Amino acid sequence: MTAKTLMIQGTGSSVGKSIIVAALCRIMHQDGFRVAPFKSQNMALNSFVTRDGREMGRAQVVQAEAAGIEPAVDMNPVLLKPEADAKSQVVVMGKPRMTVSARDYYKHTLDLFPIIEQSLARLRSQYDIVIIEGAGSPAEINLLRFEMVNMSIARLAQSPVLLVGDIDKGGVFASLIGTVVLLEEEAERIKGFIINKFRGDISILQPGLDYLEEHTGIPVLGVVPYYHHIMINEEDSIHQGETGEWNRECGIDIAVVYLRRISNSTDFEPLQQEPGVRLRYISAPWQLGNPDLIIIPGSKSTIADLAHLKEIGLAEAILSKARAGTPVIGICGGFQMLGKRIEDPQRVESEQTSIDGLGLLDIVTVFEGQKTTHQVKARIATGEGLFRGLTGEDLTGYEIHMGQTLGGDAPPAFEITQRIGEDVSHPDGATGHDGKVFGTYLHGLFDNERFRRGLLHNIKPLEMQSELPSREEQYDKLAMIVRESLDIGRIYELCGL
C-alpha cells in the first residue's frame, strides 16, 4: 500500500503551517483514516525524545498526537538545531551527525535526500495518508537548488499543495500571489489557498478572495479564524499572553528567562494553563519585577547565554532575588547555569572553555561530545521547600542534554528509576537553599499534574480547577474550528481519498 499525500506550504515562517497540519491530522483521524505527519527537514529548538531514545522536532510530535499515533523519527528525519547565527547541529534520524555552518550544510543535501526519501516511503507503506509540512516559504529563490523541504518533496511525493497565508500579519494577498508568481511552473502544484488567523467580518474579506481566485486560478479552500484559549504550540512560537484571572494578592507570578537560544520552551505550557498563574518571559533586569518564581530554561548555547545574562545584569538580578528568598528553578541548560562552573574542555559547544555559574547550586558541569537522549520515569527524592509533601511522587519526562553534572554537597532533586523501559537508579538534578532552588535535566516536568500543582501550592495556595482540558480535548477543539472553516470534502477529493 502507498499512502495518499497532501502538502501544506506557507508564504513564510510562522503563518500556521504546523497547526494546520495538526488540525488536518486530527480531522482525518476522526474520520477513520490512518494518518501520519511528515516534515523532511525541521529547524527548531523545541525537540522531543521518542520511546527508542531518538530526537525529533516537537511540532511533528504534536501532529502525531493529533493523529492518534506514536511519534517516530521517520516523521522528521532531519532536525537542525541552531547553535549560533550561522551554525547548527544536524540531527539525522534522531541522532546528532555534525555541526556545520549554513554554507557547508548545503554541501550535504545530496547525502541527506535519500534518507528523507526512505523515511517518507516507510510512512507511506504504513498509513492511508501522509500530511507533509513545508518550511518557511517555497519561493526562497536563492535556495531553490538546495531545498529539500518544499517543492522538492511535493515532486517526490507527487503531492497536491495547499498554500497558507497569515492575514493577521498583513499583506496576505501580496504574499500568496507573489509566491505563485515566483514559483513559476512549480505553482501548478498549488491546488488551494488557506487564509489563516482572520479576525472580523468575512463578508468584508470576500472581494479580496474573489480577486485572488480570479488572478491565480487557484481556489480559496477556507478562512481559519484567529482563535484563543487553545494551547497547542506552533513550531518554536511562545505563548506569552496571560491565562485565566490573575492578581497580585492571590495569583502566582512566574518569570521565565528568555534566553537567546532558548530550547524546549514547551516545558512551561502546562503552567500557563493553570488559572491564577501568570507566566511571562523576561530578557532584561528591569522586566524581572518581583516574581513568585523564576525559571531558567534550556539553551542550545548555554555558555554564550550565561555570559549574556551576566553582561546585561540579569544574572545579578536573579541572584539578588534568590538571596532574598525567591524560588529559582533551572531546567537542563538552566540547571547547568545554576551551578558553580561550566567547563567545555573539548569545545563541544563554545570556543570558551570555562565560565563561572550563578553559584546557587553546589555542582559543576563538564560538556562532552555524547548527547544524552532518553525517555525516563523518575521519583522525587526530597521533601524540602518547593517539594514539601511531594516526596516519592512518580514522574515521567525526557532528557536531552550534552555533558555531565557532578554534585558536591547538593542533594539530588529526583531519582531516575527507568530509562527507555529499563530499570535504573540514577540521581538527577540538585537542590539548594532549603529546597527553594533546584535544577534538573528532566524536560516535560510540569506535564505531571500532581507535581505541578503541588509545587504551585508550595509557592502560594491557589484555588485549582478540578481538571484542566486534556491534550485530546485541545486537539478536538482545534479540529472543530478548522473543519468548520475549510472545505474538507474538496480537500479529500484533492488527496484522492
The CA angle 487-491-497, to the nearest 5 degrees, is 135
Question: In degrees rounded to 5, what are phi and psi of residue 22?
Answer: -60, -45
The one catalytic residue in 239, 374, 401, 443 is 443
Q: What residue has cell string 522586566?
A: 287
Of 343, 425, 420, 437, give the one whose Cα is nearest residue 384: 437
Of 322, 324, 342, 346, give the one whose Cα is nearest residue 334: 342
Query: What residues contact 446, with CB distance under 8 A and at least 6 apart?
Result: 267, 268, 269, 270, 271, 452
Annotated active-site residue 332? The verdict is yes
How far CA 407 is from CA of 173, 323, 393, in Å, comes to 57, 21, 22
β-partners of residue 279 are 254
Annotated active-site residue 25? The verdict is no
If you ran DSSP here, which 8-state letter would residue 486 be given? B
CB 418 within 8 A of CB 377: yes
Cα separation of 420 and 354, whole Å?
32
Cα separation of 74 and 156, whole Å?
16
Q: Mind spelling out the 3-state secondary structure of 202-214? A: HHHHHHHHHHHHH
Helix axes 17-30, 471-485, angle to 10 degrees: 100
Question: In degrees rounded to 5, what are phi and psi of residue 306?
Answer: -65, -40
Q: How many DSSP H helices and E strands does the chain contain?
A: 14, 26
Cα separation of 91 and 434, whole Å?
39
The one catalytic residue in 25, 29, 239, 332 is 332
Cα separation of 255 and 64, whole Å?
31
Round the CA-based radius of gyration of the chain to a whole number and report it. 23
If you ran DSSP here, which 8-state letter would residue 469 be given? P
Of 225, 123, 139, give the one whose Cα is nearest residue 174: 139
Q: What residue has cell string 494577498?
A: 173
Give catalytic residue positions: 332, 443
